[in-house]
Structure 1
Amino acid sequence: MDVSTFEILYKPLTPPLGAGTEAIARRVLQGYFLTIANTEAFDFTFRIAFNITLPNPDNPARRLDGNTLFITDVASPDNVFSTSLTRSPAGGNRYVGSFVVPAGKTALVVLLSNITVPTFFATTPADIEIRGWVSLSLPCLFRRVGRFFKLTPQEGAPARVLLNAEHRSTYLPPGWPVTASGDLDFDQTGTNLTLASGMALNEVPQDRCFFFPPVFEALEPVLKRIPDALVMASDLDEVEAAAALVAGLARFGPENESLDAMNRVLEQAGLGVRLAPAPKAAGQK
Protein backbone atom coordinates (compact mmCIF):
# COMPACT_ATOMS: atom_id res chain seq x y z
CA MET A 1 0.00 0.00 0.00
CA ASP A 2 1.15 3.54 -0.72
CA VAL A 3 1.54 5.56 2.49
CA SER A 4 2.61 9.14 1.77
CA THR A 5 5.14 11.33 0.06
CA PHE A 6 8.47 12.14 1.70
CA GLU A 7 11.22 14.74 1.38
CA ILE A 8 14.70 14.46 2.91
CA LEU A 9 16.54 17.78 3.18
CA TYR A 10 19.82 19.22 4.35
CA LYS A 11 19.77 22.61 2.65
CA PRO A 12 20.02 26.34 3.34
CA LEU A 13 16.62 27.99 3.77
CA THR A 14 17.56 30.62 1.20
CA PRO A 15 20.12 30.85 -1.60
CA PRO A 16 23.19 33.07 -0.98
CA LEU A 17 21.98 36.68 -0.84
CA GLY A 18 25.24 38.51 -0.16
CA ALA A 19 26.95 40.01 2.86
CA GLY A 20 24.78 40.80 5.86
CA THR A 21 22.18 38.12 5.13
CA GLU A 22 23.88 35.29 7.01
CA ALA A 23 21.32 35.43 9.83
CA ILE A 24 18.54 34.18 7.57
CA ALA A 25 20.65 31.56 5.80
CA ARG A 26 20.01 28.84 8.33
CA ARG A 27 20.24 25.21 7.22
CA VAL A 28 17.26 22.91 7.57
CA LEU A 29 17.70 19.23 8.44
CA GLN A 30 14.44 17.47 7.58
CA GLY A 31 13.61 13.79 8.09
CA TYR A 32 10.68 11.47 7.50
CA PHE A 33 9.01 9.88 10.55
CA LEU A 34 6.44 7.09 10.24
CA THR A 35 4.63 5.73 13.31
CA ILE A 36 3.18 2.22 12.90
CA ALA A 37 0.94 0.67 15.57
CA ASN A 38 0.35 -3.06 15.11
CA THR A 39 -3.20 -3.61 16.40
CA GLU A 40 -3.14 -7.35 15.67
CA ALA A 41 -2.40 -10.36 17.90
CA PHE A 42 0.46 -11.42 15.60
CA ASP A 43 4.03 -10.21 15.11
CA PHE A 44 4.57 -8.88 11.59
CA THR A 45 7.61 -8.32 9.41
CA PHE A 46 7.04 -5.22 7.29
CA ARG A 47 8.77 -4.17 4.10
CA ILE A 48 9.07 -0.43 3.57
CA ALA A 49 9.99 0.99 0.18
CA PHE A 50 11.18 4.51 -0.54
CA ASN A 51 10.52 5.31 -4.20
CA ILE A 52 12.59 8.32 -5.19
CA THR A 53 12.60 10.65 -8.16
CA LEU A 54 15.89 9.82 -9.88
CA PRO A 55 17.94 12.93 -10.76
CA ASN A 56 18.66 13.64 -14.41
CA PRO A 57 21.54 14.13 -14.89
CA ASP A 58 22.67 11.90 -12.04
CA ASN A 59 23.48 13.69 -8.78
CA PRO A 60 24.63 11.67 -5.72
CA ALA A 61 23.18 14.34 -3.41
CA ARG A 62 19.71 13.49 -4.70
CA ARG A 63 19.89 9.73 -4.16
CA LEU A 64 19.56 7.73 -0.94
CA ASP A 65 22.83 5.85 -1.48
CA GLY A 66 25.28 6.83 1.25
CA ASN A 67 23.31 9.95 2.21
CA THR A 68 20.72 8.65 4.61
CA LEU A 69 20.16 6.88 7.91
CA PHE A 70 17.32 4.38 8.37
CA ILE A 71 16.22 3.96 12.00
CA THR A 72 13.60 1.72 13.61
CA ASP A 73 12.56 1.91 17.26
CA VAL A 74 10.08 -0.50 18.87
CA ALA A 75 10.50 0.47 22.54
CA SER A 76 13.56 -1.75 22.87
CA PRO A 77 16.78 -0.85 24.72
CA ASP A 78 18.39 0.35 21.52
CA ASN A 79 17.26 1.83 18.24
CA VAL A 80 18.25 -0.11 15.13
CA PHE A 81 20.39 2.02 12.82
CA SER A 82 21.15 1.17 9.22
CA THR A 83 22.82 3.16 6.46
CA SER A 84 22.21 0.59 3.74
CA LEU A 85 18.71 0.25 2.38
CA THR A 86 18.62 -2.27 -0.47
CA ARG A 87 18.34 -0.65 -3.89
CA SER A 88 15.98 -2.92 -5.78
CA PRO A 89 16.54 -3.44 -8.62
CA ALA A 90 20.14 -2.26 -8.84
CA GLY A 91 20.20 1.17 -10.43
CA GLY A 92 16.45 1.59 -9.92
CA ASN A 93 14.51 4.20 -8.01
CA ARG A 94 13.29 1.95 -5.14
CA TYR A 95 15.11 1.47 -1.82
CA VAL A 96 13.73 -1.13 0.58
CA GLY A 97 14.22 -2.14 4.20
CA SER A 98 12.43 -4.44 6.62
CA PHE A 99 11.59 -4.45 10.32
CA VAL A 100 9.46 -6.37 12.81
CA VAL A 101 6.64 -4.88 14.88
CA PRO A 102 5.49 -7.28 17.63
CA ALA A 103 1.81 -7.81 18.37
CA GLY A 104 0.23 -4.81 20.07
CA LYS A 105 3.41 -2.72 19.79
CA THR A 106 4.10 0.62 18.13
CA ALA A 107 7.19 1.32 16.04
CA LEU A 108 8.79 4.53 14.85
CA VAL A 109 10.54 4.36 11.48
CA VAL A 110 12.82 7.25 10.53
CA LEU A 111 14.67 8.24 7.37
CA LEU A 112 16.99 11.25 7.52
CA SER A 113 20.40 12.44 6.42
CA ASN A 114 23.26 10.37 7.83
CA ILE A 115 24.16 12.60 10.77
CA THR A 116 26.16 9.78 12.42
CA VAL A 117 29.19 10.79 10.34
CA PRO A 118 31.31 12.61 12.98
CA THR A 119 32.05 15.59 10.73
CA PHE A 120 28.65 15.73 9.03
CA PHE A 121 27.62 19.23 10.12
CA ALA A 122 31.12 20.68 9.75
CA THR A 123 32.09 19.31 6.33
CA THR A 124 29.09 17.86 4.46
CA PRO A 125 27.85 20.27 1.79
CA ALA A 126 24.32 21.36 2.67
CA ASP A 127 22.92 20.16 -0.61
CA ILE A 128 20.90 16.99 0.12
CA GLU A 129 17.42 17.05 -1.42
CA ILE A 130 15.55 13.78 -2.05
CA ARG A 131 11.84 13.35 -2.76
CA GLY A 132 9.52 10.45 -3.44
CA TRP A 133 6.81 8.30 -1.90
CA VAL A 134 6.65 5.53 0.69
CA SER A 135 4.91 2.16 0.45
CA LEU A 136 4.38 -0.69 2.94
CA SER A 137 3.73 -4.40 2.45
CA LEU A 138 4.07 -7.75 4.21
CA PRO A 139 6.87 -9.77 2.58
CA CYS A 140 6.62 -13.52 2.24
CA LEU A 141 8.84 -15.44 4.65
CA PHE A 142 11.21 -18.03 3.16
CA ARG A 143 10.86 -21.38 4.93
CA ARG A 144 11.76 -24.99 4.30
CA VAL A 145 8.85 -27.31 5.12
CA GLY A 146 9.85 -30.97 4.87
CA ARG A 147 11.03 -31.52 1.30
CA PHE A 148 9.61 -28.22 0.09
CA PHE A 149 10.95 -24.69 -0.10
CA LYS A 150 8.23 -22.09 0.30
CA LEU A 151 7.84 -18.35 0.45
CA THR A 152 4.89 -18.39 2.82
CA PRO A 153 2.35 -15.71 3.79
CA GLN A 154 2.61 -14.31 7.29
CA GLU A 155 0.15 -15.58 9.87
CA GLY A 156 -2.70 -13.15 10.46
CA ALA A 157 -2.20 -11.17 7.23
CA PRO A 158 -3.30 -8.61 6.18
CA ALA A 159 -2.13 -6.47 9.09
CA ARG A 160 -4.41 -3.80 10.55
CA VAL A 161 -2.20 -0.89 11.58
CA LEU A 162 -2.55 2.70 12.68
CA LEU A 163 -0.29 5.01 10.67
CA ASN A 164 0.95 8.55 11.15
CA ALA A 165 3.48 10.16 8.80
CA GLU A 166 5.25 13.46 9.34
CA HIS A 167 8.25 15.57 8.47
CA ARG A 168 10.33 16.82 11.39
CA SER A 169 12.76 19.64 10.75
CA THR A 170 15.61 21.16 12.77
CA TYR A 171 16.95 24.60 11.85
CA LEU A 172 20.67 25.09 12.46
CA PRO A 173 22.32 28.43 13.33
CA PRO A 174 24.46 29.98 10.56
CA GLY A 175 28.05 28.76 10.74
CA TRP A 176 27.36 26.11 13.38
CA PRO A 177 29.39 24.20 14.49
CA VAL A 178 32.47 25.83 12.90
CA THR A 179 32.07 29.59 13.43
CA ALA A 180 28.86 30.09 15.40
CA SER A 181 29.17 31.52 18.91
CA GLY A 182 27.06 33.13 21.61
CA ASP A 183 23.41 32.26 21.96
CA LEU A 184 22.63 29.50 19.49
CA ASP A 185 19.13 29.39 18.06
CA PHE A 186 17.92 25.87 17.22
CA ASP A 187 14.30 25.60 16.19
CA GLN A 188 12.23 22.53 15.38
CA THR A 189 8.96 22.00 13.52
CA GLY A 190 6.78 18.99 12.77
CA THR A 191 4.39 18.73 9.83
CA ASN A 192 1.83 15.96 9.43
CA LEU A 193 1.65 14.42 5.96
CA THR A 194 -1.55 13.36 4.24
CA LEU A 195 -1.88 9.58 4.10
CA ALA A 196 -2.70 8.15 0.68
CA SER A 197 -5.65 6.23 2.13
CA GLY A 198 -7.02 9.27 3.92
CA MET A 199 -7.40 7.14 7.06
CA ALA A 200 -5.33 6.43 10.15
CA LEU A 201 -6.44 2.78 10.32
CA ASN A 202 -5.14 0.80 7.35
CA GLU A 203 -4.63 -2.78 6.19
CA VAL A 204 -1.12 -3.59 4.98
CA PRO A 205 -1.47 -6.27 2.28
CA GLN A 206 0.39 -9.57 2.04
CA ASP A 207 2.70 -9.94 -0.95
CA ARG A 208 2.00 -12.81 -3.34
CA CYS A 209 4.05 -15.86 -2.45
CA PHE A 210 5.31 -18.45 -4.89
CA PHE A 211 6.16 -22.09 -4.32
CA PHE A 212 9.17 -24.26 -5.10
CA PRO A 213 8.33 -27.85 -6.18
CA PRO A 214 9.51 -31.00 -4.33
CA VAL A 215 13.25 -31.22 -3.94
CA PHE A 216 14.89 -33.91 -6.03
CA GLU A 217 17.57 -35.98 -4.33
CA ALA A 218 20.11 -34.72 -6.83
CA LEU A 219 19.51 -31.13 -5.67
CA GLU A 220 19.75 -31.68 -1.92
CA PRO A 221 23.45 -30.66 -1.67
CA VAL A 222 22.68 -27.35 -3.43
CA LEU A 223 19.35 -26.46 -1.87
CA LYS A 224 20.67 -26.99 1.65
CA ARG A 225 23.02 -24.08 0.99
CA ILE A 226 20.49 -21.73 -0.60
CA PRO A 227 18.43 -20.41 2.36
CA ASP A 228 21.33 -18.36 3.73
CA ALA A 229 21.79 -16.83 0.30
CA LEU A 230 18.12 -15.85 0.26
CA VAL A 231 17.89 -14.14 3.62
CA MET A 232 17.40 -10.94 1.65
CA ALA A 233 14.33 -12.39 -0.04
CA SER A 234 12.08 -10.69 2.51
CA ASP A 235 13.12 -7.37 0.93
CA LEU A 236 12.32 -8.53 -2.60
CA ASP A 237 9.14 -8.91 -4.58
CA GLU A 238 8.18 -12.15 -6.34
CA VAL A 239 10.12 -11.55 -9.53
CA GLU A 240 13.22 -10.34 -7.67
CA ALA A 241 13.13 -13.30 -5.28
CA ALA A 242 12.98 -15.69 -8.22
CA ALA A 243 16.00 -13.96 -9.71
CA ALA A 244 17.79 -14.32 -6.38
CA LEU A 245 17.06 -18.06 -6.38
CA VAL A 246 18.52 -18.43 -9.85
CA ALA A 247 21.55 -16.36 -8.86
CA GLY A 248 22.05 -18.62 -5.85
CA LEU A 249 21.88 -21.75 -7.98
CA ALA A 250 24.27 -20.28 -10.50
CA ARG A 251 26.97 -19.88 -7.86
CA PHE A 252 27.36 -23.64 -7.51
CA GLY A 253 29.21 -25.80 -9.99
CA PRO A 254 27.61 -28.87 -11.58
CA GLU A 255 30.26 -31.30 -10.38
CA ASN A 256 28.03 -33.23 -7.95
CA GLU A 257 24.59 -32.10 -9.07
CA SER A 258 22.54 -32.84 -12.14
CA LEU A 259 21.81 -29.84 -14.35
CA ASP A 260 18.86 -31.75 -15.79
CA ALA A 261 17.35 -32.13 -12.32
CA MET A 262 17.98 -28.46 -11.59
CA ASN A 263 16.28 -27.45 -14.80
CA ARG A 264 13.27 -29.62 -14.03
CA VAL A 265 12.87 -27.78 -10.72
CA LEU A 266 13.22 -24.39 -12.39
CA GLU A 267 10.73 -25.35 -15.10
CA GLN A 268 8.15 -26.59 -12.58
CA ALA A 269 8.64 -23.38 -10.57
CA GLY A 270 7.68 -21.45 -13.70
CA LEU A 271 10.79 -19.27 -13.61
CA GLY A 272 11.46 -19.49 -17.35
CA VAL A 273 15.19 -20.05 -16.81
CA ARG A 274 17.50 -22.95 -17.66
CA LEU A 275 21.04 -23.62 -16.46
CA ALA A 276 23.74 -24.84 -18.83
CA PRO A 277 27.41 -25.80 -18.40
CA ALA A 278 29.86 -22.99 -19.05
CA PRO A 279 31.46 -23.31 -22.50
CA LYS A 280 34.93 -24.76 -22.47
CA ALA A 281 37.82 -22.52 -23.28
CA ALA A 282 39.62 -23.02 -26.57
CA GLY A 283 41.86 -26.08 -26.38
CA GLN A 284 40.24 -27.34 -23.16
CA LYS A 285 39.23 -31.02 -23.14
Structure 2
Amino acid sequence: MTDALVTAERLTKSFHTASGSVRAVDSVSLTIFPGESLGLVGESGSGKSTTARMIAGLEPPTSGEILFRGTPVRPPRNLASRRVQARRAQMVFQDPFGSLDPRQRLGNCLGEVIAVNGAPAGLSRAEYVAQLLERVGLEERHSHSYPRALSGGQRQRFAIARALAPSPELVILDEAVSALDVSVQAQILNLLVELRQQSDVSYLFVSHDLAVVRQVCDRVIVMRHGEIVEEGDVEAVLTSPSHPYTQRLVASVPSRGWRPPERMRVARRDASPERGRV
Protein backbone atom coordinates (compact mmCIF):
# COMPACT_ATOMS: atom_id res chain seq x y z
CA MET A 1 0.00 0.00 0.00
CA THR A 2 1.30 3.48 -0.86
CA ASP A 3 2.09 6.02 1.83
CA ALA A 4 -0.94 7.76 3.29
CA LEU A 5 -2.14 11.08 1.95
CA VAL A 6 -4.06 11.96 5.11
CA THR A 7 -3.85 10.35 8.53
CA ALA A 8 -6.20 11.35 11.35
CA GLU A 9 -5.16 10.11 14.76
CA ARG A 10 -7.65 9.90 17.64
CA LEU A 11 -9.64 12.98 16.58
CA THR A 12 -12.06 14.29 19.20
CA LYS A 13 -14.39 17.25 18.91
CA SER A 14 -16.54 18.65 21.72
CA PHE A 15 -18.99 21.54 21.50
CA HIS A 16 -20.04 23.59 24.48
CA THR A 17 -23.75 24.28 24.84
CA ALA A 18 -25.96 25.88 27.47
CA SER A 19 -26.63 22.44 28.93
CA GLY A 20 -22.98 21.35 28.95
CA SER A 21 -20.38 19.81 26.66
CA VAL A 22 -21.40 17.58 23.75
CA ARG A 23 -18.83 15.25 22.19
CA ALA A 24 -19.60 15.06 18.47
CA VAL A 25 -16.52 13.01 17.50
CA ASP A 26 -14.88 10.56 19.86
CA SER A 27 -11.35 9.30 19.17
CA VAL A 28 -11.69 8.78 15.40
CA SER A 29 -8.67 7.53 13.47
CA LEU A 30 -8.67 7.09 9.69
CA THR A 31 -6.39 7.05 6.67
CA ILE A 32 -6.91 8.29 3.11
CA PHE A 33 -4.53 7.04 0.46
CA PRO A 34 -3.50 8.89 -2.72
CA GLY A 35 -6.00 8.49 -5.52
CA GLU A 36 -8.64 6.63 -3.50
CA SER A 37 -12.21 7.51 -2.62
CA LEU A 38 -13.13 6.93 1.01
CA GLY A 39 -16.78 6.97 2.06
CA LEU A 40 -17.90 8.21 5.46
CA VAL A 41 -21.45 7.10 6.25
CA GLY A 42 -23.88 7.23 9.14
CA GLU A 43 -27.16 8.79 10.13
CA SER A 44 -27.58 12.45 11.09
CA GLY A 45 -25.64 13.23 14.25
CA SER A 46 -23.13 10.43 13.74
CA GLY A 47 -20.22 12.89 13.57
CA LYS A 48 -19.29 12.29 9.93
CA SER A 49 -19.61 15.92 8.78
CA THR A 50 -17.72 17.21 11.83
CA THR A 51 -14.92 14.74 11.08
CA ALA A 52 -14.81 15.94 7.46
CA ARG A 53 -14.72 19.59 8.51
CA MET A 54 -11.77 18.92 10.82
CA ILE A 55 -9.85 17.22 8.01
CA ALA A 56 -10.69 20.17 5.73
CA GLY A 57 -9.30 22.58 8.34
CA LEU A 58 -12.68 24.26 8.94
CA GLU A 59 -12.97 22.97 12.52
CA PRO A 60 -10.06 22.62 14.95
CA PRO A 61 -10.07 19.29 16.79
CA THR A 62 -10.45 19.38 20.55
CA SER A 63 -7.74 16.73 20.66
CA GLY A 64 -5.94 14.45 18.26
CA GLU A 65 -3.82 15.18 15.21
CA ILE A 66 -4.15 15.35 11.42
CA LEU A 67 -1.15 14.53 9.26
CA PHE A 68 -0.88 15.38 5.56
CA ARG A 69 1.77 13.21 3.94
CA GLY A 70 3.22 12.70 7.39
CA THR A 71 3.40 16.41 8.29
CA PRO A 72 1.14 17.72 11.09
CA VAL A 73 -1.54 20.11 9.85
CA ARG A 74 -1.59 23.43 11.68
CA PRO A 75 -3.99 26.41 11.35
CA PRO A 76 -2.78 28.73 8.55
CA ARG A 77 -1.01 31.85 9.84
CA ASN A 78 -0.55 33.81 6.63
CA LEU A 79 -1.37 33.85 2.92
CA ALA A 80 1.44 31.47 2.05
CA SER A 81 0.23 28.82 4.51
CA ARG A 82 -3.34 29.30 3.28
CA ARG A 83 -2.17 28.54 -0.25
CA VAL A 84 -0.51 25.37 0.98
CA GLN A 85 -3.72 24.32 2.73
CA ALA A 86 -5.82 25.12 -0.37
CA ARG A 87 -3.65 22.80 -2.46
CA ARG A 88 -4.03 20.07 0.13
CA ALA A 89 -7.80 19.93 0.51
CA GLN A 90 -10.93 21.60 -0.81
CA MET A 91 -14.56 21.07 0.22
CA VAL A 92 -17.82 20.80 -1.74
CA PHE A 93 -20.92 21.40 0.36
CA GLN A 94 -24.47 20.09 0.15
CA ASP A 95 -25.96 23.45 -0.82
CA PRO A 96 -23.86 25.07 -3.57
CA PHE A 97 -26.08 28.17 -3.68
CA GLY A 98 -25.36 28.87 -0.01
CA SER A 99 -21.60 28.71 -0.65
CA LEU A 100 -21.66 31.14 -3.59
CA ASP A 101 -21.91 34.93 -3.61
CA PRO A 102 -25.24 35.67 -5.36
CA ARG A 103 -23.91 39.06 -6.51
CA GLN A 104 -20.76 37.72 -8.16
CA ARG A 105 -20.50 36.32 -11.67
CA LEU A 106 -19.15 32.77 -11.77
CA GLY A 107 -16.12 33.71 -13.86
CA ASN A 108 -15.09 36.34 -11.32
CA CYS A 109 -15.55 33.81 -8.52
CA LEU A 110 -13.19 31.35 -10.20
CA GLY A 111 -10.86 34.20 -11.12
CA GLU A 112 -10.42 35.12 -7.45
CA VAL A 113 -9.41 31.56 -6.56
CA ILE A 114 -6.95 31.49 -9.47
CA ALA A 115 -5.53 34.91 -8.55
CA VAL A 116 -4.62 33.61 -5.11
CA ASN A 117 -3.43 30.13 -6.05
CA GLY A 118 -2.20 30.63 -9.62
CA ALA A 119 -2.99 28.96 -12.94
CA PRO A 120 -1.11 26.06 -14.55
CA ALA A 121 1.95 27.07 -16.50
CA GLY A 122 1.17 28.39 -19.97
CA LEU A 123 -2.47 29.26 -19.22
CA SER A 124 -3.92 32.71 -18.66
CA ARG A 125 -6.53 33.22 -15.96
CA ALA A 126 -9.34 33.37 -18.56
CA GLU A 127 -8.09 30.21 -20.29
CA TYR A 128 -7.95 28.34 -16.98
CA VAL A 129 -11.49 29.47 -16.08
CA ALA A 130 -12.74 28.11 -19.43
CA GLN A 131 -10.83 24.86 -18.91
CA LEU A 132 -12.25 24.31 -15.44
CA LEU A 133 -15.81 24.93 -16.63
CA GLU A 134 -15.33 22.49 -19.50
CA ARG A 135 -13.98 19.81 -17.15
CA VAL A 136 -17.21 19.83 -15.14
CA GLY A 137 -19.56 19.98 -18.12
CA LEU A 138 -20.30 23.71 -18.18
CA GLU A 139 -19.73 26.16 -21.02
CA GLU A 140 -17.63 29.32 -21.21
CA ARG A 141 -20.82 31.41 -21.38
CA HIS A 142 -21.64 30.31 -17.83
CA SER A 143 -18.71 32.41 -16.62
CA HIS A 144 -20.86 35.49 -17.23
CA SER A 145 -23.83 34.12 -15.25
CA TYR A 146 -24.86 34.67 -11.66
CA PRO A 147 -25.56 31.63 -9.44
CA ARG A 148 -29.33 32.22 -9.61
CA ALA A 149 -29.26 31.64 -13.38
CA LEU A 150 -28.04 28.05 -12.99
CA SER A 151 -29.96 24.93 -12.07
CA GLY A 152 -29.09 23.02 -8.90
CA GLY A 153 -27.02 20.52 -10.83
CA GLN A 154 -25.16 23.24 -12.71
CA ARG A 155 -24.40 25.06 -9.46
CA GLN A 156 -22.96 21.87 -7.98
CA ARG A 157 -20.86 21.37 -11.11
CA PHE A 158 -19.51 24.89 -10.63
CA ALA A 159 -18.82 24.22 -6.94
CA ILE A 160 -16.74 21.22 -8.02
CA ALA A 161 -14.88 23.38 -10.55
CA ARG A 162 -14.09 25.91 -7.85
CA ALA A 163 -12.82 23.15 -5.57
CA LEU A 164 -10.56 21.86 -8.35
CA ALA A 165 -9.14 25.30 -9.18
CA PRO A 166 -6.20 25.17 -6.69
CA SER A 167 -5.40 21.60 -7.90
CA PRO A 168 -5.94 20.03 -4.46
CA GLU A 169 -4.84 16.50 -3.64
CA LEU A 170 -8.04 15.85 -1.65
CA VAL A 171 -11.61 16.92 -2.34
CA ILE A 172 -14.07 16.50 0.55
CA LEU A 173 -17.69 16.16 -0.55
CA ASP A 174 -20.21 16.63 2.26
CA GLU A 175 -23.60 15.26 1.12
CA ALA A 176 -22.75 16.86 -2.23
CA VAL A 177 -25.55 15.15 -4.19
CA SER A 178 -28.24 14.62 -1.56
CA ALA A 179 -30.17 17.79 -2.49
CA LEU A 180 -30.32 16.95 -6.21
CA ASP A 181 -32.94 15.10 -8.24
CA VAL A 182 -32.10 11.45 -8.85
CA SER A 183 -31.29 11.93 -12.56
CA VAL A 184 -29.07 14.96 -11.84
CA GLN A 185 -27.50 13.10 -8.93
CA ALA A 186 -26.44 10.31 -11.29
CA GLN A 187 -24.85 12.83 -13.67
CA ILE A 188 -22.81 14.44 -10.87
CA LEU A 189 -21.68 11.04 -9.58
CA ASN A 190 -20.55 10.04 -13.07
CA LEU A 191 -18.69 13.35 -13.33
CA LEU A 192 -16.89 12.69 -10.03
CA VAL A 193 -15.86 9.22 -11.20
CA GLU A 194 -14.51 10.66 -14.47
CA LEU A 195 -12.59 13.43 -12.70
CA ARG A 196 -10.87 10.92 -10.43
CA GLN A 197 -9.96 8.75 -13.41
CA GLN A 198 -8.42 11.76 -15.16
CA SER A 199 -6.27 12.87 -12.21
CA ASP A 200 -4.71 11.72 -8.96
CA VAL A 201 -7.25 13.48 -6.77
CA SER A 202 -8.57 11.66 -3.70
CA TYR A 203 -12.10 11.95 -2.31
CA LEU A 204 -13.52 11.90 1.18
CA PHE A 205 -17.19 11.31 0.40
CA VAL A 206 -19.62 12.02 3.25
CA SER A 207 -23.10 10.60 2.72
CA HIS A 208 -26.03 8.84 4.33
CA ASP A 209 -26.89 7.16 1.00
CA LEU A 210 -25.28 3.73 0.77
CA ALA A 211 -26.06 3.38 -2.95
CA VAL A 212 -24.15 6.59 -3.66
CA VAL A 213 -21.17 5.46 -1.59
CA ARG A 214 -21.13 2.11 -3.38
CA GLN A 215 -20.93 3.87 -6.75
CA VAL A 216 -18.04 6.25 -6.05
CA CYS A 217 -16.01 4.84 -3.15
CA ASP A 218 -13.31 2.19 -2.76
CA ARG A 219 -13.47 1.91 1.04
CA VAL A 220 -16.10 2.94 3.56
CA ILE A 221 -16.14 3.93 7.23
CA VAL A 222 -19.37 3.65 9.21
CA MET A 223 -19.87 6.07 12.11
CA ARG A 224 -22.34 6.07 14.97
CA HIS A 225 -22.53 8.46 17.93
CA GLY A 226 -19.18 9.99 16.98
CA GLU A 227 -17.32 6.68 16.79
CA ILE A 228 -16.23 4.34 14.02
CA VAL A 229 -18.09 1.05 14.25
CA GLU A 230 -16.97 -0.61 11.01
CA GLU A 231 -14.66 -0.01 8.06
CA GLY A 232 -13.31 -1.85 5.06
CA ASP A 233 -13.72 -2.45 1.34
CA VAL A 234 -17.01 -0.88 0.25
CA GLU A 235 -18.41 -4.02 -1.39
CA ALA A 236 -17.44 -6.23 1.54
CA VAL A 237 -18.93 -3.91 4.15
CA LEU A 238 -22.17 -3.21 2.29
CA THR A 239 -22.66 -6.81 1.13
CA SER A 240 -21.73 -8.60 4.38
CA PRO A 241 -21.75 -6.04 7.22
CA SER A 242 -20.48 -7.35 10.54
CA HIS A 243 -21.61 -4.66 13.00
CA PRO A 244 -25.32 -4.68 13.98
CA TYR A 245 -25.62 -0.96 13.24
CA THR A 246 -24.23 -1.39 9.71
CA GLN A 247 -26.56 -4.34 9.23
CA ARG A 248 -29.52 -2.12 10.13
CA LEU A 249 -28.33 0.60 7.76
CA VAL A 250 -28.03 -1.85 4.88
CA ALA A 251 -31.39 -3.46 5.71
CA SER A 252 -33.10 -0.06 5.68
CA VAL A 253 -32.30 0.51 1.99
CA PRO A 254 -35.43 -0.27 -0.12
CA SER A 255 -34.87 -3.17 -2.49
CA ARG A 256 -36.41 -3.83 -5.89
CA GLY A 257 -40.17 -4.36 -5.58
CA TRP A 258 -40.37 -2.74 -2.14
CA ARG A 259 -43.78 -1.36 -1.18
CA PRO A 260 -44.52 0.87 1.82
CA PRO A 261 -46.35 -0.76 4.77
CA GLU A 262 -50.13 -0.53 4.80
CA ARG A 263 -50.13 2.16 7.50
CA MET A 264 -47.95 4.38 5.28
CA ARG A 265 -50.26 3.88 2.29
CA VAL A 266 -53.28 4.77 4.43
CA ALA A 267 -51.52 7.89 5.75
CA ARG A 268 -50.75 8.99 2.19
CA ARG A 269 -54.35 8.49 1.11
CA ASP A 270 -55.55 10.49 4.12
CA ALA A 271 -53.15 13.30 3.23
CA SER A 272 -54.21 13.38 -0.42
CA PRO A 273 -55.55 16.80 -1.54
CA GLU A 274 -58.36 15.00 -3.37
CA ARG A 275 -59.96 13.87 -0.09
CA GLY A 276 -62.70 16.12 1.14
CA ARG A 277 -63.32 17.77 -2.25
CA VAL A 278 -66.94 18.10 -3.46
TM-score range, shorter chain: under 0.3
TM-score normalised by L of structure 1:
0.23
Which of the two has higher C-alpha Rg? 1
The structure in which a higher percent of residues are strand is 1
The structure in which a higher percent of residues are helix is 2
